């Protein structure tokens, strides 16, 4: 699957005064900006040649595609940064025709027409240029060029952001032992020191977070052309990270929950069939982060995070395995594979 390549005459060049003529006439709704601590937006308006609309949309909004052979890199064309406020990036482009244009290839009614590049049919065109409105806003993520990413595993550094959901959970503490009364008179007059059986709950301050990874090419995540099956991601669901994840989460501290995927078309057609859009995928992956404190004597052991359980005898956390004495509570997987090409 390759993206449609525009003919040289139809390729947009922002630096060319023939391709971009900024509108400064106040009567034509020129550029504007709005900056506050809550929202930051800006707009640029200019003239673009009629035949370069598709190329201009790709240039301003950005695009992503994946190699089909090793090393299966993910390539990104970053959105256009506002020239005056470079932390604002383009997110919306619209085109409006103006000034009627004559065309000798007219139909019987004298209406101007040009031939479509994609199928043997005519459609009307009304102007030589269009008014192009580019809207910008601030984002919660960074847009990095390909040369700023060393390997596919570094993809977490761009086009990603996090939502955080702190919460408190109660986890039953197990083990030998029970509670004792710590106040009152000594027995038999009072309960002080008297043991009694009772379930013990340990309150845990856990952090749930959602990884949002945006505008990932369909073919980067799944090998299927029509069925979406992101095996690299699905293989990690219900498991904990076997090594340091995204450079900061130590092993066993992240438990992956079922992900959610949103599909949307890139404004770039497919080379084989321009009527067919190329799909981008927004990936949302929720994690439970858990890194309880351990007894100082066992801090250096291999058990961490979700592989720990509280002992009700002292309220501290220790590594736990299943009854066979070797199987840990949860399976491991390399979470950094999430950001790798499905065929890598």
Work out the angle at residue 67's Cα, subtended by the Cα atoms of residues 63 and 73, and round it to the nearest 5 degrees: 85
Give the closest residue to 74 by CA, choosing from 188, 141, 153, 136. 153
Q: Can you tell me the mean pLDDT for 139-146?
A: 94
Quick check: bond before 300 cis, omega within 30?
no
What does the pLDDT look like over 259-297, one tens digit per residue? Answer: 999 999 999 988 888 888 899 999 999 999 988 887 777
Quick check: bond before 71 cis, omega within 30?
yes
The per-residue pLDDT for 87 is 95
Pairing of strands 332-333, 240-241: parallel
* Sequence ranges of the domains in the chain: 8-139, 148-339
Beta strands of 50-149 (E only): which ranges? 63-66, 74-77, 88-97, 114-115, 122-123, 129-138
What does the pLDDT look like over 31-84, one tens digit per residue? Answer: 889 999 988 999 999 999 988 999 999 999 999 999 989 999 999 999 999 999
pTM of the model: 0.82
The per-residue pLDDT for 176 is 46
206 pLDDT band, cuts 50/70/90, is confident
């Amino acid at each position: 699957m390759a993206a449609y390549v525009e003919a040289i005459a139809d390729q947009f060049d922002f630096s060319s005064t023939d391709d971009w003529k900024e509108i400064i006439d106040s009567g034509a709704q020129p550029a504007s900006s709005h900056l506050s601590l809550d929202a930051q937006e800006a707009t640029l308006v200019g003239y673009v040649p009629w035949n370069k609309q598709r190329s201009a949309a790709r240039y301003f909004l950005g695009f992503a595609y994946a190699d089909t052979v090793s090393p299966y890199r993910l390539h990104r064309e970053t959105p256009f940064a506002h020239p005056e406020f470079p932390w604002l990036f383009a997110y919306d482009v619209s085109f409006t025709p103006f000034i009627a244009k004559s065309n000798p290839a007219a139909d019987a009614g004298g209406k101007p027409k040009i031939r479509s590049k994609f199928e043997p049919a005519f459609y009307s065109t009304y102007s030589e240029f269009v008014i192009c409105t580019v809207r910008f806003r601030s984002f919660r993520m960074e847009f990095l060029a390909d040369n700023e990413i060393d390997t596919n595993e570094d993809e977490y550094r761009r086009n990603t952001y996090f939502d955080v959901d702190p919460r408190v959970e109660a986890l039953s503490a197990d083990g030998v032992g029970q509670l004792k009364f710590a106040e009152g008179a000594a027995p038999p007059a009072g309960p002080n020191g008297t043991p009694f059986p009772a379930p013990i709950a340990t309150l845990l301050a856990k952090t749930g977070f959602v990884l949002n990874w945006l505008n990932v090419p369909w073919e980067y995540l799944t090998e299927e052309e029509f069925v979406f099956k992101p095996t690299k991601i699905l293989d990690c669901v219900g498991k904990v990270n076997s090594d340091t994840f995204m450079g900061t989460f130590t092993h066993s501290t992240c438990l992956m929950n079922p992900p959610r995927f949103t599909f949307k078309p890139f404004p770039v057609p497919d080379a084989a069939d321009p009527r067919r859009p190329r799909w981008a995928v927004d990936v949302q992956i929720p994690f439970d982060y858990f890194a309880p404190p351990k007894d100082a004597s066992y801090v250096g052991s291999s058990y961490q995070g979700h592989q720990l359980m509280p002992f009700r005898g002292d309220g501290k956390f220790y590594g736990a395995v299943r009854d066979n004495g070797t199987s840990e509570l949860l399976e491991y997987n390399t979470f950094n594979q999430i950001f790798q090409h499905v065929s890598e």
